[in-house]
């Protein structure tokens, strides 16, 4: 199993608790949209703590991008990632598959569960292949929506935001449950992709089973 020490080139906050990292790209290190790797920190105290994160840039770029929700209250790896600065080093591991594009359909994400869809939609947009793909993106509040401007640009009316803890014009309010899916999705004989917290993924899977959309369902639990 190979390890790839890489330098942080730049960082920026994309919401109040999500930080995007640009990193050096090791030679010969390749991935496809939706894939992930594990990250470890480059210091003795943390070097055995591996955590999975998804590539959110494109393989053809000369650098790597990750989009990472920070949980300082857990005092784990993401708290440390929040403290790193350009020039600091982290360690990447092998690339592995998490979720892969299998054709047009409906993508459903909860919070930072949207990260594999960033790379997938970035690629589709670049290839002029957004087609009828749509994204349903659940968050607690507007301030939690990762890369909203980007989604609006790529998807226009094919992105639907659902907020569980805020009511605002232009946003649906509530949870994505069976009733919501029934009301908003015209046919269930299509590809579904779901990524988010375990409970959300389990609930949506169950709802899609009832509604007839489970045969073509790809899920990733976070
Ligand atoms: C395939 C895959 C890809 C992923 N890609 C991304 C990505 O691109 N971007 C992203 O932001 N995230 C992604 N994640 C999620 C990410 O891996 C976790 O958020 C990360 O591992 C958290 O690490 P941590 O050390 O900060 O906290 P953890 O390891 O989750 O927690 C540290 C400690 O805090 C405690 N703890 C854990 N959960 C809770 C809780 N809910 N409340 C209170 N205490 C708790 C436990 O004691 C735990 O040992 C991905 C996950 C998977 C499986």
pLDDT in tens, 128-143: 999 999 999 999 999 9
pLDDT of residue 5: 97
pTM for the model stands at 0.95
pLDDT for 221: 66
Q: Does residue 162 contact residue 180 with C-beta atoms inside 8 Å?
A: yes
Task: At 39, give phi and psi (nearest 5°).
Answer: -115, 140
pLDDT at site 212: 86
Judge whether residue 213 has pLDDT over 80: no
> C-alpha angle with apex 220: 10 to 145, nearest 5 degrees?
50
124/210 same-domain check: yes
Centre of ligand 1 to C-alpha 39, Å, is: 12
The atom of ligand 1 lying closest to the CA of 80 is: 26
For residue 51, the CA-to-ligand 1 centroid distance in Å is: 7
* Mean of pLDDT values over 122-131: 98
- 8 Å CB contact between 192 and 218: yes
- For residue 122, tell me if it sits in a domain: yes
The answer to whether residue 97 is domain-embedded is no
Q: Cβ–Cβ contacts within 10 Å for residue 33, how many? A: 22
What is the domain range of residue 49?
Answer: 4-92
The answer to whether residues 81 and 186 belong to one domain is no
Check pLDDT > 80 for residue 2: yes
Three-state DSSP class for residue 105: strand
Model confidence over 59-117: pLDDT tens digits?
999 999 999 999 999 999 999 999 999 999 999 999 998 899 999 999 999 999 999 99
Non-local CB neighbours of 22 within 8 Å, separated by 6+ positions: 8, 9, 10, 11, 63, 64, 65
The predicted-structure confidence for 179-199, as pLDDT tens digits, reads as follows 999 999 999 999 999 999 999
Residue 16, domain member (yes or no): yes
Is a pLDDT exceeding 80 seen at residue 41? yes
% of the chain surpassing 90 pLDDT: 89
Domain count, the chain: 2
135 and 186 housed in the same domain: yes
Q: From atom 21 of ligand 1, which residue's Cα is the shortest distance away?
A: 51
Structure tokens at 45: 């105290």
Last residue of a domain, one of 60, 92, 124: 92
Per-residue pLDDT averaged across 119-135, rounded? 98
Residue 207, pLDDT > 90, answer yes
Q: Is 69 in the pocket of ligand 1 (CB under 6 A)?
A: yes
Residues 9 and 77 in one domain: yes
Residues 117 and 64 in one domain: no
Determine the 3-state secondary structure of 113 from DSSP: helix
Question: Mutual orientation of helices 148-155 and 115-126 as an angle, nearest 10°?
Answer: 40
pLDDT of residue 220: 75
**Sign of the Cα pseudo-torsion (33, 171, 222, 40, in order):** positive
Lowest-confidence segment of 56-60, 76-80, 216-220 by average pLDDT: 216-220
């Amino acid at each position: 199993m190979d390890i790839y020490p890489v330098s942080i080139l730049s960082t920026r906050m994309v919401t109040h608790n999500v930080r995007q990292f640009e990193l050096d790209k090791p030679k010969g290190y390749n991935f496809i949209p939706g894939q992930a790797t594990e990250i470890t920190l480059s210091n003795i105290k943390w070097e055995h703590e591996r955590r999975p994160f998804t590539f959110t840039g494109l393989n053809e770029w000369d650098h790597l991008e990750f989009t990472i929700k920070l949980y300082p209250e857990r005092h784990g790896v993401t708290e440390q990632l929040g403290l790193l600065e350009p020039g600091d080093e982290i360690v990447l591991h092998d690339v592995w598959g998490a979720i892969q594009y299998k054709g047009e359909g409906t993508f459903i994400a909860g919070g930072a569960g949207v990260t594999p869809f960033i790379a997938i939609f970035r690629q589709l947009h670049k290839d002029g292949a957004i087609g009828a793909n749509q994204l349903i993106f659940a968050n607690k509040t507007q301030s939690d929506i990762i890369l909203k401007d980007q989604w609006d640009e790529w998807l226009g009316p094919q992105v639907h935001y659902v907020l569980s803890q805020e009511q605002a014009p232009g946003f649906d309010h509530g949870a994505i449950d069976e009733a919501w899916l029934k009301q908003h999705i015209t046919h269930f004989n299509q590809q579904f992709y779901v990524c988010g917290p375990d409970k959300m993924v389990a609930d949506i899977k169950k709802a899609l089973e009832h509604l007839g959309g489970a045969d073509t369902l790809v899920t990733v639990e976070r």
